[in-house]
Structure 1
Amino acid sequence: VEEEHAEGLYQDGRLVGIVKKAHDVDINLSAHVMLENLVSKASSVLALLHLLRVTGVDADEIQYVIDCSEEACGDMNQRGGGNFAKAAAETAGLSEATGCDVRGFCAGPAHALLDAASLVKAGTFKYVAVTAGGCTAKLGMNGKDHVKKGLPILEDMIAGFAALISLDDGESPQIRTDIVGRHTVGTGSSPQAVIGSLVMNPLDEAGLRLQDIDRFAPEMQNPDITKPAGAGDVPEANYKMIAALGVKRGELERSEISDFVKLHGMTGWAPTQGHIPSGVPYLGMCREEILRGDIERAMIIGKGSLFLGRMTNLFDGVSFVIQANHPEAAAVPSGTPLKQEKEFVIGIAAEDTEYGKENVLEAMKLAKAKGYSCVLVEGEDSHKKMESMLKSGEIDGAVTMHYPFPIGVSTVGRVPTPGKGKEIYMASTTGTSDTDRVCSLVKNTVCGIIAAKAAGVEEPTVGILNIDGARQAEKALVQLKEQGFDFKLAMSSRKNDENIMRGNDLLMGSADVMVMDSLTGNLMMKVFSASGTGGSYEAVGSGYGPGIGENYDKLIMIVSRASGAPVIAGAVEYANQLLKNGWQQIARAEFKKANKAGLKAILESCKSSGKSSDGKKEAVKAPQAEVVTAQIAGIEVMDLDDAVAVLWQAGIYAESGMGCTGPIVLVNDGKLEQARELLSKAGYIS
Structure 2
Amino acid sequence: MTEPVIRGAAYCLIHAPNLLVHYGTTPAMERRLNPESPYLARLPRHLRSFEEALAYPPNQTYLGRLRPDELARIPRPWYEHPVEGAEREARYGEMMPEDEFLALLKLVDAFDLVRLEAGFAAEMAERLAAHPLWAADAARLGTGVEQAELQRLLEEKAAPLYLGDRLVGVVRRAHEHDETLSSHVMLENLVTKASAVLGLRHLFARTGVKPEEVEYIIECSEEACGDMNQRGGGNFAKAIGEMAGCVNATGSDTRSFCAGPTHALIEAAALIRAGVFRHVVVLAGGTPAKLGLNSRDHVAKGLPVLEDVIGAFAVHLSADDHTSPRVRLDVVGRHKIGSGSSPQAVMEALVTEPLERAGLKLSDVDRYGVEMQNPELTEPAGAGDVPQANYKMIAALAVKRGEIGRAELPAFVAAHGMPGFAPTQGHIPSGVPVIGHVRDAIMAGEIRRAMVIGKGSLFLGRMTNLFDGVSVLLERNPGPQPGEAADAPGGAPAEAGAPAPKPVRPAVGITLHGSELGEEEVLRAAEQARRQWPDIEVVLIGRPPRETPVRWVEAGDGCLADEHRTMERMLAAGELAAAVTLHYAFPIGVATVGRVITPARGREMLIATTTGTAAADRVEAMVRAAIGGIAVARALGLTDPTVGILNVDGARQAERVLEALRTGGYPFRWAASGRADGGALMRGNDVLTGEPDVLVTDSLTGNLLMKLISAQSTGGSYEATGYGYGPGVGPEQRQIVHIISRASGAPVIAGAIRYAADMARGNLPQVVAQEYARAREAGLDRLLAERRGAGGGQIRPQAGPDAVAGPQAGAEAGGTVAAPDGPAAAPPEKVATAEIPGVDILDLEEAVACLWRRGIYAKSGMGCTGPVVLVADEDLEAARTALKEAGFLG
TM-score (norm 2): 0.42
- 1:404 and 1:56 mapped to 2: Cα distance? 45
- 2:502 and 2:629 mapped to 1: Cα distance? 21
Aligned to 2:856: none
1:469 CA displacement? 0.8
- For 1:303, the aligned partner's letter is V
1:220 CA displacement? 5.6
The Cα offsets for residues 6-61 of structure 1, whole Å up to 9 and x where unpaired, read as: xxxxx999xxxxxxxxxxxxxxxxxxxxxxxxxx999998544455994899xxxx
1:94-493 equivalences in 2 (<5 Å)? 108-118=263-273, 121=276, 175-176=318-319, 180-182=326-328, 183=331, 185-190=358-363, 192-193=365-366, 221=373, 226=378, 229-231=383-385, 268-269=422-423, 277-279=430-432, 303-304=452-453, 317-319=472-474, 326-328=489-491, 330=493, 339-349=502-512, 351-354=514-517, 356-371=518-533, 372=536, 373-375=538-540, 377=542, 382-393=559-570, 396-483=577-664, 485-493=666-674
- 1:554 and 1:53 mapped to 2: Cα distance? 38
Aligned to 1:530: 711
Conservation of the 8 A alpha-carbon contact between 1:116 and 1:130: no
- 2:796 and 2:421 mapped to 1: Cα distance? 44
- For 2:319, the aligned partner's letter is R
1:591 CA displacement? 3.7
- 2:691 and 2:450 mapped to 1: Cα distance? 49
1:595-606 equivalences in 2 (<5 Å)? 595=776, 597-606=778-787
1:518 CA displacement? 1.3
Q: What SS class does the counterpart of residue 462 from structure 1 fall into?
A: strand
The Cα offsets for residues 519-538 of structure 1, whole Å up to 9 and x where unpaired, read as: 21122122222333444433
Conservation of the 8 A alpha-carbon contact between 1:110 and 1:301: no
Conservation of the 8 A alpha-carbon contact between 1:117 and 1:177: no
The Cα offsets for residues 486-506 of structure 1, whole Å up to 9 and x where unpaired, read as: 433333344787332233332
- For 2:430, the aligned partner's letter is P
Query: Which residue among 761, 781, 785 is the counterpart of 1:580?
Result: 761
1:611 CA displacement? 3.2
- 1:186 and 1:376 mapped to 2: Cα distance? 42
* Shift in alpha-carbon separation, 1:419–1:119, aligned structure 2, 3 A: closer
Aligned to 1:638: 813
* Shift in alpha-carbon separation, 1:637–1:370, aligned structure 2, 3 A: closer
1:37-56 equivalences in 2 (<5 Å)? 47-51=232-236, 54=239
1:468 CA displacement? 0.7
- 2:797 and 2:267 mapped to 1: Cα distance? 47
- 1:329 and 1:112 mapped to 2: Cα distance? 23
- 2:498 and 2:658 mapped to 1: Cα distance? 26
- 2:627 and 2:435 mapped to 1: Cα distance? 41
Conservation of the 8 A alpha-carbon contact between 1:390 and 1:396: no
1:606 CA displacement? 3.4
Q: What SS class does the counterpart of residue 532 from structure 1 fall into?
A: coil
The Cα offsets for residues 107-139 of structure 1, whole Å up to 9 and x where unpaired, read as: 55433443344557189xxx9x999xxxxxxx9
- For 2:363, the aligned partner's letter is S
- 1:496 and 1:337 mapped to 2: Cα distance? 44
- For 1:230, the aligned partner's letter is G
Aligned to 1:200: none
* Shift in alpha-carbon separation, 1:498–1:431, aligned structure 2, 3 A: same
* Shift in alpha-carbon separation, 1:448–1:343, aligned structure 2, 3 A: closer
Q: Where do 5+ consecutive residues of structure 2 fail to align?
A: 1-29, 34-221, 243-249, 285-289, 332-354, 392-418, 437-448, 456-469, 477-485, 546-556, 799-809, 823-890
Q: Which moved more, 1:527-536 or 1:173-182?
A: 173-182
The Cα offsets for residues 252-282 of structure 1, whole Å up to 9 and x where unpaired, read as: xxxxxxxxxxxxx996246557x99343999
Q: Which moved more, 1:330-339 or 1:467-476?
A: 330-339
Q: What SS class does the counterpart of residue 121 from structure 1 fall into?
A: coil
Q: What SS class does the counterpart of residue 711 from structure 2 fall into?
A: helix
The Cα offsets for residues 54-78 of structure 1, whole Å up to 9 and x where unpaired, read as: 4899xxxxx999988599xxxxxxx
- For 1:342, the aligned partner's letter is R
* Shift in alpha-carbon separation, 1:535–1:192, aligned structure 2, 3 A: same
- 1:42 and 1:389 mapped to 2: Cα distance? 45
Query: Which residue among 684, 699, 720 is the counterpart of 1:539?
Result: 720
TM-score (norm 1): 0.53
1:530-679 equivalences in 2 (<5 Å)? 530-595=711-776, 597-612=778-793, 638=813
- 2:320 and 2:737 mapped to 1: Cα distance? 32
Q: What SS class does the counterpart of residue 608 from structure 2 fall into?
A: strand
- 1:365 and 1:189 mapped to 2: Cα distance? 50
Q: Which moved more, 1:465-474 or 1:396-405?
A: 396-405
- 1:53 and 1:348 mapped to 2: Cα distance? 47
Q: What SS class does the counterpart of residue 422 from structure 2 fall into?
A: coil
Q: What SS class does the counterpart of residue 531 from structure 1 fall into?
A: coil
- 2:816 and 2:361 mapped to 1: Cα distance? 15
Identity of aligned residues (%): 31
For CA contacts below 8 A with separation 6 or more, give which structure has more relative contact order: 1
The Cα offsets for residues 188-213 of structure 1, whole Å up to 9 and x where unpaired, read as: 21274466xxxxxxxxxxxxxxxxxx
1:443 CA displacement? 1.9
- 1:497 and 1:381 mapped to 2: Cα distance? 52
- For 2:422, the aligned partner's letter is G
* Shift in alpha-carbon separation, 1:544–1:52, aligned structure 2, 3 A: closer
The Cα offsets for residues 88-122 of structure 1, whole Å up to 9 and x where unpaired, read as: xxxxxxxxxxxxxxxx9995543344334455718
* Shift in alpha-carbon separation, 1:278–1:516, aligned structure 2, 3 A: same
Conservation of the 8 A alpha-carbon contact between 2:511 and 2:540: yes
- For 2:727, the aligned partner's letter is P
The count of corresponding residues between Structure 1 and Structure 2 is 469
Conservation of the 8 A alpha-carbon contact between 1:68 and 1:112: no
Q: Which moved more, 1:494-503 or 1:333-342?
A: 333-342
Conservation of the 8 A alpha-carbon contact between 1:463 and 1:490: yes
- 2:253 and 2:475 mapped to 1: Cα distance? 18
- 2:821 and 2:263 mapped to 1: Cα distance? 34
- 1:191 and 1:68 mapped to 2: Cα distance? 31
* Shift in alpha-carbon separation, 1:451–1:114, aligned structure 2, 3 A: same
- 2:241 and 2:737 mapped to 1: Cα distance? 53
- For 2:265, the aligned partner's letter is A
The Cα offsets for residues 657-681 of structure 1, whole Å up to 9 and x where unpaired, read as: xxxxxxxxxxxxxxxxxxxxxxxxx
1:512-523 equivalences in 2 (<5 Å)? 512-523=693-704
Conservation of the 8 A alpha-carbon contact between 1:410 and 1:429: yes
- 2:362 and 2:819 mapped to 1: Cα distance? 14
- 1:610 and 1:320 mapped to 2: Cα distance? 34
* Shift in alpha-carbon separation, 1:417–1:325, aligned structure 2, 3 A: closer
- 1:567 and 1:189 mapped to 2: Cα distance? 45
Conservation of the 8 A alpha-carbon contact between 1:337 and 1:586: no
Q: Where do 5+ consecutive residues of structure 1 fail to align?
A: 1-10, 14-39, 58-62, 72-103, 132-138, 164-171, 196-216, 238-264, 284-299, 307-314, 618-634, 648-686
